[in-house]
Protein backbone atom coordinates (compact mmCIF):
# COMPACT_ATOMS: atom_id res chain seq x y z
CA UNK A 1 0.00 0.00 0.00
CA UNK A 2 1.40 3.39 -1.03
CA UNK A 3 0.03 6.75 0.05
CA UNK A 4 1.12 10.15 -1.23
CA UNK A 5 0.53 13.24 0.92
CA UNK A 6 0.59 15.98 -1.71
CA UNK A 7 1.39 19.70 -1.35
CA UNK A 8 1.22 19.90 2.45
CA UNK A 9 3.19 22.43 4.49
CA UNK A 10 5.61 20.16 6.32
CA UNK A 11 6.95 21.13 9.74
CA UNK A 12 9.60 18.64 10.85
CA UNK A 13 11.47 20.19 13.77
CA UNK A 14 13.68 17.18 14.39
CA UNK A 15 15.19 17.45 10.90
CA UNK A 16 14.91 21.25 10.69
CA UNK A 17 12.77 21.00 7.57
CA UNK A 18 9.85 23.29 6.85
CA UNK A 19 8.04 24.13 3.65
CA UNK A 20 5.75 22.67 1.01
CA UNK A 21 6.69 19.04 0.42
CA UNK A 22 5.16 15.77 -0.71
CA UNK A 23 5.49 12.71 1.51
CA UNK A 24 5.47 9.26 -0.09
CA UNK A 25 4.58 6.37 2.20
CA UNK A 26 5.10 2.71 1.38
CA UNK A 27 3.57 0.22 3.75
CA UNK A 28 4.51 1.31 7.30
CA UNK A 29 7.31 3.73 6.49
CA UNK A 30 8.09 7.04 4.83
CA UNK A 31 9.70 6.31 1.50
CA UNK A 32 10.58 9.82 0.33
CA UNK A 33 10.10 13.49 1.14
CA UNK A 34 10.48 15.93 -1.73
CA UNK A 35 8.86 18.89 -3.44
CA UNK A 36 6.66 18.32 -6.50
CA UNK A 37 6.98 14.57 -6.36
CA UNK A 38 5.58 12.61 -9.29
CA UNK A 39 5.08 9.14 -7.90
CA UNK A 40 2.35 6.55 -8.39
CA UNK A 41 0.35 5.77 -5.25
CA UNK A 42 -2.65 3.71 -4.25
CA UNK A 43 -4.04 6.79 -2.56
CA UNK A 44 -3.19 10.46 -2.97
CA UNK A 45 -4.28 12.87 -0.23
CA UNK A 46 -4.40 16.52 -1.29
CA UNK A 47 -2.88 18.42 1.63
CA UNK A 48 -2.92 21.82 -0.07
CA UNK A 49 -3.47 24.49 2.61
CA UNK A 50 -2.90 21.94 5.37
CA UNK A 51 0.01 21.46 7.79
CA UNK A 52 1.81 18.12 8.01
CA UNK A 53 3.69 17.20 11.19
CA UNK A 54 5.02 14.04 12.85
CA UNK A 55 2.37 12.32 14.95
CA UNK A 56 2.09 13.76 18.44
CA UNK A 57 3.48 11.77 21.37
CA UNK A 58 1.43 12.48 24.49
CA UNK A 59 3.55 11.24 27.38
CA UNK A 60 0.95 11.78 30.09
CA UNK A 61 -2.30 9.87 29.59
CA UNK A 62 -4.54 7.93 32.00
CA UNK A 63 -6.20 5.12 30.05
CA UNK A 64 -8.12 3.56 33.01
CA UNK A 65 -7.54 0.10 31.56
CA UNK A 66 -7.53 -2.27 33.41
CA UNK A 67 -10.05 -1.80 36.19
CA UNK A 68 -11.98 1.32 35.23
CA UNK A 69 -12.98 0.70 31.65
CA UNK A 70 -16.33 2.41 32.21
CA UNK A 71 -14.26 5.62 31.94
CA UNK A 72 -11.95 4.68 29.05
CA UNK A 73 -10.31 1.70 27.39
CA UNK A 74 -7.62 1.09 24.81
CA UNK A 75 -10.06 1.28 21.91
CA UNK A 76 -11.87 4.48 22.89
CA UNK A 77 -8.64 6.16 23.97
CA UNK A 78 -7.18 5.30 20.58
CA UNK A 79 -10.15 6.84 18.81
CA UNK A 80 -9.80 10.01 20.88
CA UNK A 81 -6.06 10.17 20.37
CA UNK A 82 -6.01 9.90 16.58
CA UNK A 83 -8.81 12.49 16.33
CA UNK A 84 -6.34 14.83 18.02
CA UNK A 85 -3.36 13.95 15.84
CA UNK A 86 -1.82 11.85 18.61
CA UNK A 87 -0.14 8.68 17.34
CA UNK A 88 1.67 7.59 20.53
CA UNK A 89 0.75 7.79 24.20
CA UNK A 90 2.39 6.78 27.43
CA UNK A 91 -0.23 5.40 29.80
CA UNK A 92 0.15 6.06 33.51
CA UNK A 93 0.30 3.26 36.06
CA UNK A 94 -2.61 4.22 38.34
CA UNK A 95 -4.97 1.58 37.00
CA UNK A 96 -6.80 -1.02 39.09
CA UNK A 97 -4.64 -2.89 39.89
CA UNK A 98 -1.63 -0.63 39.45
CA UNK A 99 0.93 -1.49 36.78
CA UNK A 100 3.58 -2.61 39.24
CA UNK A 101 4.79 -5.96 37.84
CA UNK A 102 6.30 -7.29 34.60
CA UNK A 103 3.16 -9.37 34.05
CA UNK A 104 0.96 -6.29 34.11
CA UNK A 105 3.29 -4.39 31.80
CA UNK A 106 3.24 -7.27 29.32
CA UNK A 107 -0.54 -7.44 29.56
CA UNK A 108 -0.80 -3.78 28.56
CA UNK A 109 1.65 -4.24 25.70
CA UNK A 110 -0.38 -7.17 24.40
CA UNK A 111 -3.86 -5.69 24.78
CA UNK A 112 -2.76 -2.31 23.44
CA UNK A 113 -2.56 -3.95 20.02
CA UNK A 114 -6.34 -3.39 19.79
CA UNK A 115 -5.84 0.38 19.79
CA UNK A 116 -5.37 2.67 16.80
CA UNK A 117 -2.60 4.48 18.68
CA UNK A 118 0.81 3.23 19.83
CA UNK A 119 0.68 2.72 23.60
CA UNK A 120 3.78 2.72 25.81
CA UNK A 121 3.37 1.61 29.44
CA UNK A 122 4.58 3.68 32.37
CA UNK A 123 4.97 1.39 35.38
CA UNK A 124 4.64 2.29 39.05
CA UNK A 125 7.55 3.41 41.21
CA UNK A 126 6.20 1.60 44.27
CA UNK A 127 4.26 -1.62 44.71
CA UNK A 128 0.56 -0.86 44.42
CA UNK A 129 1.56 2.83 44.34
CA UNK A 130 1.60 2.44 48.11
CA UNK A 131 4.74 4.49 48.62
CA UNK A 132 6.59 1.97 50.78
CA UNK A 133 8.28 -0.67 48.57
CA UNK A 134 10.01 -0.11 45.25
CA UNK A 135 9.07 -2.14 42.20
CA UNK A 136 11.63 -4.18 40.27
CA UNK A 137 12.67 -1.58 37.70
CA UNK A 138 14.92 -3.92 35.70
CA UNK A 139 12.09 -6.41 35.25
CA UNK A 140 9.62 -3.65 34.36
CA UNK A 141 12.01 -2.31 31.72
CA UNK A 142 12.51 -5.76 30.19
CA UNK A 143 8.74 -6.24 30.05
CA UNK A 144 8.29 -3.06 28.03
CA UNK A 145 7.92 -0.14 30.46
CA UNK A 146 9.42 3.12 29.19
CA UNK A 147 9.24 5.08 32.46
CA UNK A 148 8.11 4.80 36.08
CA UNK A 149 5.77 7.05 38.02
CA UNK A 150 3.29 6.92 40.87
CA UNK A 151 1.45 9.78 39.16
CA UNK A 152 -1.83 10.53 40.82
CA UNK A 153 0.20 10.24 43.99
CA UNK A 154 3.61 11.53 45.03
CA UNK A 155 6.42 9.40 46.40
CA UNK A 156 6.28 11.02 49.83
CA UNK A 157 9.33 9.36 51.37
CA UNK A 158 12.47 11.23 50.24
CA UNK A 159 14.79 8.33 51.11
CA UNK A 160 12.69 6.00 48.97
CA UNK A 161 12.74 8.48 46.10
CA UNK A 162 16.52 8.69 46.35
CA UNK A 163 16.77 4.93 45.99
CA UNK A 164 14.23 4.99 43.15
CA UNK A 165 16.30 7.54 41.21
CA UNK A 166 19.40 5.39 41.56
CA UNK A 167 17.63 2.20 40.49
CA UNK A 168 15.85 3.93 37.61
CA UNK A 169 19.15 5.24 36.28
CA UNK A 170 20.67 1.76 36.42
CA UNK A 171 17.62 0.29 34.66
CA UNK A 172 17.58 2.96 31.97
CA UNK A 173 14.18 4.33 32.96
CA UNK A 174 13.03 7.89 33.54
CA UNK A 175 11.19 8.79 36.74
CA UNK A 176 8.22 11.10 36.36
CA UNK A 177 7.30 12.93 39.55
CA UNK A 178 3.85 14.03 40.65
CA UNK A 179 4.98 16.94 42.82
CA UNK A 180 2.60 17.22 45.74
CA UNK A 181 3.10 17.31 49.49
CA UNK A 182 -0.16 15.74 50.62
CA UNK A 183 0.33 16.93 54.20
CA UNK A 184 0.02 20.44 52.79
CA UNK A 185 -2.64 19.85 50.14
CA UNK A 186 -4.75 17.86 52.58
CA UNK A 187 -8.38 17.59 51.54
CA UNK A 188 -8.29 20.62 49.25
CA UNK A 189 -10.33 20.41 46.07
CA UNK A 190 -9.06 23.46 44.14
CA UNK A 191 -6.41 26.17 44.21
CA UNK A 192 -6.16 27.91 47.57
CA UNK A 193 -6.89 31.58 47.04
CA UNK A 194 -9.60 34.20 46.73
CA UNK A 195 -11.90 31.93 44.70
CA UNK A 196 -11.73 29.01 47.13
CA UNK A 197 -12.40 31.43 49.98
CA UNK A 198 -15.41 32.86 48.15
CA UNK A 199 -16.77 29.36 47.55
CA UNK A 200 -16.07 28.30 51.11
CA UNK A 201 -14.14 25.16 50.13
CA UNK A 202 -10.73 23.84 51.15
CA UNK A 203 -7.94 24.84 48.82
CA UNK A 204 -4.68 23.25 47.68
CA UNK A 205 -1.77 25.54 48.50
CA UNK A 206 0.75 26.17 45.75
CA UNK A 207 3.38 25.39 48.38
CA UNK A 208 2.36 21.74 48.10
CA UNK A 209 3.62 21.62 44.51
CA UNK A 210 6.52 24.00 44.99
CA UNK A 211 8.15 22.28 47.94
CA UNK A 212 8.05 18.86 46.28
CA UNK A 213 9.44 20.31 43.06
CA UNK A 214 12.40 21.67 45.02
CA UNK A 215 12.88 18.33 46.75
CA UNK A 216 13.10 16.49 43.44
CA UNK A 217 15.56 19.04 42.08
CA UNK A 218 17.77 18.69 45.16
CA UNK A 219 17.73 14.90 44.91
CA UNK A 220 18.52 14.95 41.19
CA UNK A 221 21.42 17.31 41.84
CA UNK A 222 22.85 15.24 44.68
CA UNK A 223 22.52 11.92 42.83
CA UNK A 224 23.42 13.23 39.36
CA UNK A 225 20.19 11.60 38.19
CA UNK A 226 17.42 12.65 35.86
CA UNK A 227 13.94 13.67 37.05
CA UNK A 228 10.96 14.65 34.93
CA UNK A 229 8.48 16.99 36.61
CA UNK A 230 4.89 16.33 35.60
CA UNK A 231 2.07 18.84 35.00
CA UNK A 232 3.74 22.07 36.23
CA UNK A 233 1.10 24.60 37.31
CA UNK A 234 2.75 27.32 39.44
CA UNK A 235 4.94 30.28 38.60
CA UNK A 236 7.31 29.38 41.45
CA UNK A 237 7.86 25.82 40.20
CA UNK A 238 8.86 27.26 36.82
CA UNK A 239 11.51 29.44 38.47
CA UNK A 240 12.92 26.52 40.45
CA UNK A 241 13.12 24.30 37.37
CA UNK A 242 14.73 27.06 35.29
CA UNK A 243 17.30 27.61 38.04
CA UNK A 244 18.03 23.88 38.09
CA UNK A 245 18.49 23.69 34.31
CA UNK A 246 20.86 26.66 34.41
CA UNK A 247 22.90 24.85 37.07
CA UNK A 248 23.16 21.79 34.87
CA UNK A 249 20.84 19.61 36.94
CA UNK A 250 19.18 16.87 34.89
CA UNK A 251 15.56 17.97 35.09
CA UNK A 252 12.93 18.08 32.36
CA UNK A 253 9.34 19.20 32.69
CA UNK A 254 5.92 19.40 31.11
CA UNK A 255 2.72 21.39 31.35
CA UNK A 256 -0.77 21.00 29.91
CA UNK A 257 -3.04 23.33 27.90
CA UNK A 258 -5.41 24.00 30.80
CA UNK A 259 -2.55 25.52 32.80
CA UNK A 260 -1.77 28.15 30.15
CA UNK A 261 -5.41 28.74 29.22
CA UNK A 262 -7.70 28.69 32.28
CA UNK A 263 -7.65 30.06 35.85
CA UNK A 264 -9.33 29.04 39.09
CA UNK A 265 -12.11 31.53 38.36
CA UNK A 266 -13.66 28.77 36.23
CA UNK A 267 -14.49 27.03 39.52
CA UNK A 268 -17.03 29.76 40.32
CA UNK A 269 -19.33 27.69 38.07
CA UNK A 270 -19.18 24.89 40.69
CA UNK A 271 -18.58 22.45 37.85
CA UNK A 272 -16.27 19.53 38.69
CA UNK A 273 -15.15 19.31 35.06
CA UNK A 274 -12.80 22.17 35.95
CA UNK A 275 -11.23 20.29 38.85
CA UNK A 276 -7.89 18.55 38.34
CA UNK A 277 -4.73 18.00 40.38
CA UNK A 278 -2.66 20.10 40.37
CA UNK A 279 -5.54 22.55 40.14
CA UNK A 280 -6.13 25.51 37.88
CA UNK A 281 -4.12 28.33 39.41
CA UNK A 282 -4.30 32.12 39.05
CA UNK A 283 -3.84 34.62 36.24
CA UNK A 284 -0.19 35.29 37.12
CA UNK A 285 0.55 31.57 36.86
CA UNK A 286 -1.03 31.41 33.41
CA UNK A 287 1.12 34.36 32.32
CA UNK A 288 4.33 32.86 33.69
CA UNK A 289 3.68 29.43 32.19
CA UNK A 290 2.98 31.06 28.82
CA UNK A 291 6.15 33.12 29.10
CA UNK A 292 8.15 30.03 30.02
CA UNK A 293 6.79 28.17 26.99
CA UNK A 294 7.86 31.05 24.78
CA UNK A 295 11.34 31.03 26.35
CA UNK A 296 11.88 27.29 25.75
CA UNK A 297 11.76 26.46 29.45
CA UNK A 298 9.30 23.60 29.01
CA UNK A 299 10.30 20.37 27.30
CA UNK A 300 6.81 19.03 26.63
CA UNK A 301 3.16 19.93 26.32
CA UNK A 302 0.93 17.01 27.35
CA UNK A 303 -2.79 16.46 27.86
CA UNK A 304 -2.85 14.71 31.28
CA UNK A 305 -5.94 13.03 29.83
CA UNK A 306 -7.87 11.78 32.88
CA UNK A 307 -11.38 10.58 31.95
CA UNK A 308 -14.21 10.12 34.46
CA UNK A 309 -17.81 9.07 33.94
CA UNK A 310 -20.50 11.74 34.08
CA UNK A 311 -22.00 10.39 37.30
CA UNK A 312 -18.59 10.54 38.98
CA UNK A 313 -18.20 14.20 38.09
CA UNK A 314 -21.74 15.15 39.14
CA UNK A 315 -20.91 16.49 42.62
CA UNK A 316 -18.63 19.53 42.62
CA UNK A 317 -17.10 18.88 46.04
CA UNK A 318 -16.63 15.10 45.99
CA UNK A 319 -15.87 14.38 42.33
CA UNK A 320 -12.46 12.88 41.45
CA UNK A 321 -9.76 15.06 39.95
CA UNK A 322 -9.11 15.00 36.22
CA UNK A 323 -10.13 16.22 32.77
CA UNK A 324 -9.98 14.72 29.29
CA UNK A 325 -7.62 16.26 26.77
CA UNK A 326 -6.40 14.02 23.94
CA UNK A 327 -8.64 15.59 21.29
CA UNK A 328 -8.08 19.18 22.40
CA UNK A 329 -4.32 19.03 23.09
CA UNK A 330 -3.20 20.39 19.72
CA UNK A 331 -6.16 22.69 18.95
CA UNK A 332 -6.00 24.50 22.31
CA UNK A 333 -2.25 24.90 21.99
CA UNK A 334 -2.58 26.32 18.48
CA UNK A 335 -5.35 28.66 19.60
CA UNK A 336 -3.54 29.97 22.66
CA UNK A 337 0.07 29.98 21.48
CA UNK A 338 0.27 29.97 17.68
CA UNK A 339 -2.69 32.14 16.74
CA UNK A 340 -1.72 34.72 19.37
CA UNK A 341 1.73 35.02 17.80
CA UNK A 342 3.54 33.59 20.81
CA UNK A 343 5.01 30.41 19.31
CA UNK A 344 5.68 29.12 15.80
CA UNK A 345 4.38 25.70 14.85
CA UNK A 346 7.96 24.42 14.78
CA UNK A 347 8.36 24.94 18.53
CA UNK A 348 5.00 23.34 19.25
CA UNK A 349 6.09 20.34 17.18
CA UNK A 350 9.31 20.10 19.16
CA UNK A 351 7.42 20.04 22.48
CA UNK A 352 4.71 17.64 21.33
CA UNK A 353 6.39 15.36 18.81
CA UNK A 354 10.15 15.38 19.36
CA UNK A 355 10.99 15.97 23.04
CA UNK A 356 8.57 13.44 24.58
CA UNK A 357 10.06 10.67 22.45
CA UNK A 358 13.59 11.82 23.27
CA UNK A 359 12.89 11.83 27.01
CA UNK A 360 11.28 8.38 26.91
CA UNK A 361 13.86 6.97 24.51
CA UNK A 362 11.27 5.53 22.14
CA UNK A 363 12.60 7.01 18.89
CA UNK A 364 10.74 8.77 16.09
CA UNK A 365 9.47 12.32 15.94
CA UNK A 366 10.54 13.17 12.42
CA UNK A 367 9.35 12.66 8.83
CA UNK A 368 12.17 11.33 6.68
CA UNK A 369 12.91 8.35 4.49
CA UNK A 370 12.91 5.22 6.61
CA UNK A 371 10.97 6.69 9.55
CA UNK A 372 7.71 5.19 10.76
CA UNK A 373 4.82 6.82 8.92
CA UNK A 374 3.15 8.28 12.02
CA UNK A 375 1.82 11.62 10.81
CA UNK A 376 -0.80 14.24 11.64
CA UNK A 377 -2.31 16.60 9.08
CA UNK A 378 -4.32 19.58 10.25
CA UNK A 379 -5.96 22.80 9.15
CA UNK A 380 -4.33 25.64 11.06
CA UNK A 381 -7.23 27.99 10.49
CA UNK A 382 -10.40 25.92 10.83
CA UNK A 383 -12.66 27.22 13.59
CA UNK A 384 -14.74 24.83 15.67
CA UNK A 385 -16.47 24.66 19.02
CA UNK A 386 -15.77 21.95 21.59
CA UNK A 387 -18.97 19.95 22.08
CA UNK A 388 -18.45 17.22 24.70
CA UNK A 389 -21.05 14.92 23.15
CA UNK A 390 -19.08 14.81 19.89
CA UNK A 391 -15.74 13.90 21.49
CA UNK A 392 -14.58 10.34 20.94
CA UNK A 393 -13.38 9.64 24.46
CA UNK A 394 -15.72 7.42 26.45
CA UNK A 395 -15.85 10.18 29.10
CA UNK A 396 -16.79 13.77 28.34
CA UNK A 397 -15.27 15.70 31.26
CA UNK A 398 -13.49 18.35 29.23
CA UNK A 399 -12.68 21.74 30.76
CA UNK A 400 -12.74 23.27 27.27
CA UNK A 401 -16.44 22.65 26.61
CA UNK A 402 -18.04 25.45 24.67
CA UNK A 403 -14.68 26.97 23.78
CA UNK A 404 -14.12 28.25 20.26
CA UNK A 405 -10.85 26.85 18.92
CA UNK A 406 -8.80 27.49 15.80
CA UNK A 407 -7.00 24.51 14.31
CA UNK A 408 -8.40 21.06 13.56
CA UNK A 409 -6.91 17.68 12.68
CA UNK A 410 -8.00 16.40 9.27
CA UNK A 411 -5.98 13.17 8.88
CA UNK A 412 -3.93 10.97 11.19
CA UNK A 413 -1.71 8.13 9.97
CA UNK A 414 -0.24 5.39 12.13
CA UNK A 415 2.24 3.00 10.50
CA UNK A 416 1.25 4.41 7.13
CA UNK A 417 -2.46 3.73 7.53
CA UNK A 418 -5.02 6.55 7.59
CA UNK A 419 -6.67 5.80 10.93
CA UNK A 420 -8.58 9.08 11.22
CA UNK A 421 -10.16 11.32 8.62
CA UNK A 422 -12.30 14.35 9.44
CA UNK A 423 -15.24 14.23 7.08
30-48 mean pLDDT: 96
- Is residue 304 part of the annotated active site? The answer reads yes
Mean of the pLDDT values across residues 392-412?
98
pLDDT for 423 beyond 90: no
Q: Report whether pLDDT(355) > 90.
A: yes
pLDDT digits (tens, 9 = 90+) for 360-388: 999 999 999 999 999 999 999 999 999 99
Domain definitions of the chain by residue range = 2-51+372-390+400-421, 55-360
pLDDT at residue 240 in the model: 98
**Total residue count of the chain as it appears in this document:** 423
Angle between helices 158-171 and 206-223 (to 10 degrees): 50
pLDDT for position 357: 98
Mean pLDDT of all residues in 410-418: 98
pLDDT in tens, 87-121: 999 999 999 999 999 999 999 999 999 999 999 99
List pLDDT tens digits, range 150-191: 999 999 999 999 999 999 999 999 999 999 999 999 999 999
* pTM for this model (two decimals): 0.97
Is the pLDDT at 298 greater than 90? The verdict is: yes
Q: Got the DSSP string for 372-386?
A: B--EEEEEEEEEEE-
What is the percentage of the chain residues whose pLDDT exceeds 90?
Answer: 99
* Cα separation, 301 vs 356, whole angstroms: 9
Q: Which residues pair with 148 in a beta bridge?
A: 123, 175
The whole-number pLDDT of residue 291 equals: 98
- Using CA atoms, how far apart are residues 154 and 136, in angstroms rounded to an integer? 18
Cis peptide bond prior to 97, omega within 30° of 0: yes
DSSP state letters, 48-86: TT-EEEEPEEEEEE---TTT-TTT--HHHHHHHHHHTTE
Pairing of strands 227-229, 203-204: unpaired
Residue 199 DSSP one-character state? H
The CATH architecture assigned to 55-360 reads Alpha-Beta Barrel (3.20)
The CATH H-level superfamily of 2-51+372-390+400-421 is Urease, subunit C, domain 1 (2.30.40.10)
How far is residue 365 CA from its own chain's centroid?
15
From 65, 304, 374, 379, the catalytic residue: 304
Mean pLDDT of all residues in the chain?
Answer: 98
- Tell me whether domains 2-51+372-390+400-421 and 55-360 share a fold: no
Amino acid sequence: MTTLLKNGYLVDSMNNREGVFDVLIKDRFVSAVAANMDAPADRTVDCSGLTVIPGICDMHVHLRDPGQTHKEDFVTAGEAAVAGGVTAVMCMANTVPAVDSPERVRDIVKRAETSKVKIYPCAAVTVGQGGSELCDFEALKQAGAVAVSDDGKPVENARLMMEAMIRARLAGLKIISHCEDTDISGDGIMNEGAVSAKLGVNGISRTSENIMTMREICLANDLKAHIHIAHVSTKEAIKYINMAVNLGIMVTCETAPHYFTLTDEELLKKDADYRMNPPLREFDDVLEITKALCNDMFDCIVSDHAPHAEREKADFKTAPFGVTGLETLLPVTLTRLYHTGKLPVSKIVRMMCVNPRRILGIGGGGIEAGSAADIAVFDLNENWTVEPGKLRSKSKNTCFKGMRLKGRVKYTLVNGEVVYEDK
